[in-house]
Amino acid sequence: MGFNTDVLYAGRQEAAAQGATIAPIVQSSAFAYRTMEDLERVFANRAPGFVYTRVGNPTVAAFERRVAALEHGFAAVACASGMAAVAQTFQTILTAGDEVLASAGLYGGTIQFNALLRNLGITVRYVPHFTPDELESLVTDRTRLVFGEVISNPGLGVADIRAVAEWSHAHGLPLVLDSTTATPFLVRPLELGADIVIHSTSKYINGSGNGVSGIVVDSGRFRWDFDRYPALAPFRQFGPLAAHVRLRQDVMPCFGGCLAPFNAYLNLVGVETLGLRMERICRNASALAHALAAIPGVTVNHPSLDTHPQSALVRCQFRDGLAGGILTLRLGSRERALRTAERLRYATIASNIGDVRTLVIYPATTLFAHNTPEECTAAGVFDDTLRVSVGIEDPEDLVQDFTTAIETDTKGEQQ
């Protein structure tokens, strides 16, 4: 199946009530059984079924099957948010004393979470560029996980998935990638060697900005060494599925970061148009990036530009060389960045990405308000940076909106 067929049918099960064409919202906390013995069998994993929505729910399961299929993964666990997906994945794999190697240009919330891990005895070490050479320089005998973003938000660095996966596996380490900004439409990281893929499905997979959620997709292929991963040792009978089963049966139920059935339903609706939206969004972003790069005094970062340091990798790693829907603009000063954002007619000032609407934000004092100056620089956040999450509007309107906002400002300054 091609991608646009997959988003409609992959992982579908023919059990829908009254022939519903889309998984119904099963808005129930608990599930009733005829006898206590029937319920016992489900608790003991001796019979299929749902018990309680924190642990599993039919609508949530339909969403999990769809995304697992789109990523060509073994199985997925949906979570209350992208942050819950990151946090519960780390909690599944790591124990006190462990170290994580991560790329420096991560989503601000993930950097904030990593700092919090210090209290639990887990250290995250950052490499400025997510390359085997730089990873090699920081690996120790306590390293247990390699983490990065496929297209970093908002730094827009691109991970060479094959190269980093090969390096990780040579060191016996799992590669966990946050692929929120790339989506399975651009690339399936598990096929290039990643072991676990995480999404903030609040973004492109939902698509309309109407519900927060996250998901963890496991390839089911990583060979866990249970001496090095003691948290997974009680799940050794599941072999390469140990992390998936621990997340599902232990960490999710205990930490409780489950997805609500209603939000799973919104995501199931949203994901059906993921391919159509991503194609349009990426083409819009590229058109806008090229148009704005031609304006003097504006520095544009988008992986579709020849000036992007990894433009060759973008062309061979991503579907049709599409380069994602996020771009950043440096406008020379904080004042000019803020004035430009406020002058836009269509683009909305809001803290989100992956919406059908174009959104802009000034990250330095919002998304990165809790980060150090070094972390900001590593993430490509400067005092004149605007981040733009491009939507599905007509490209002519977007180009005109941004061009007018920027040029009005330039004229204003000259007067």
Ligand X SMILES: *Cc1c(COP(=O)(O)O)cnc(C)c1O
Contacts to ligand X by CB under 6 A: 81-83, 107, 109-110, 149, 153, 178, 180-181, 200, 202-203, 212, 214, 353
The SS3 call for residue 130 is coil
Q: Shortest distance, CB of residue 291 to ligand X, whole angstroms?
A: 25
Q: Shortest distance, CB of residue 83 to ligand X, whole angstroms?
A: 4
Tell me whether residue 59 or residue 153 sits nearer to ligand X (CB atom): 153
Beta bridge partners, 300, equal 329
Q: Shortest distance, CB of residue 21 to ligand X, whole angstroms?
A: 28
Question: Token match 């802009």: residue?
Answer: 360
Tell me whether residue 103 or residue 181 sits nearer to ligand X (CB atom): 181
Tell me whether residue 268 or residue 298 sits nearer to ligand X (CB atom): 268
Give buried/exposed letters for 74-85 (b at 16+ CB in 10 A, else e): ebbbbbbbbbbb
Q: Shortest distance, CB of residue 248 to ligand X, whole angstroms?
A: 19
Q: Shortest distance, CB of residue 278 to ligand X, whole angstroms?
A: 15
Tell me whether residue 101 or residue 326 sits nearer to ligand X (CB atom): 326
Contact by Cβ (8 Å): 88, 252: yes
Nearest CA among 241, 264, 272, 205 for reference residue 61: 264
**154 cis-preceded (ω within 30 degrees of 0):** yes
Tell me whether residue 57 or residue 267 sits nearer to ligand X (CB atom): 267
Nearest CA among 63, 54, 52, 77 for reference residue 25: 63
Q: Shortest distance, CB of residue 255 to ligand X, whole angstroms?
A: 14
Tell me whether residue 53 or residue 81 sits nearer to ligand X (CB atom): 81
Helix, strand counts (H, E) of the chain: 16, 12
Strands 123-127 and 143-149: unpaired
| Phi, psi values for residue 345, rounded to 5° | -85, -40
Q: Shortest distance, CB of residue 80 to ligand X, whole angstroms?
A: 8
End-to-end Cα separation, the chain, in angstroms: 58
Which contiguous run of DSSP H or E holds residue 78?
A: strand 75-79
286 C-beta neighbours (distance < 10 Å), count: 22
Q: Which residue is nearest to ligand X (CB)?
A: 82
Instruction: Name the CA dihedral angle for 198, 204, 207, 208, rounded to a multiple of 10 degrees.
Output: 90
Tell me whether residue 102 or residue 406 sits nearer to ligand X (CB atom): 102
Tell me whether residue 149 or residue 195 sits nearer to ligand X (CB atom): 149
Beta bridge partners, 176, equal 147, 196
Q: Shortest distance, CB of residue 82 to ligand X, whole angstroms?
A: 2
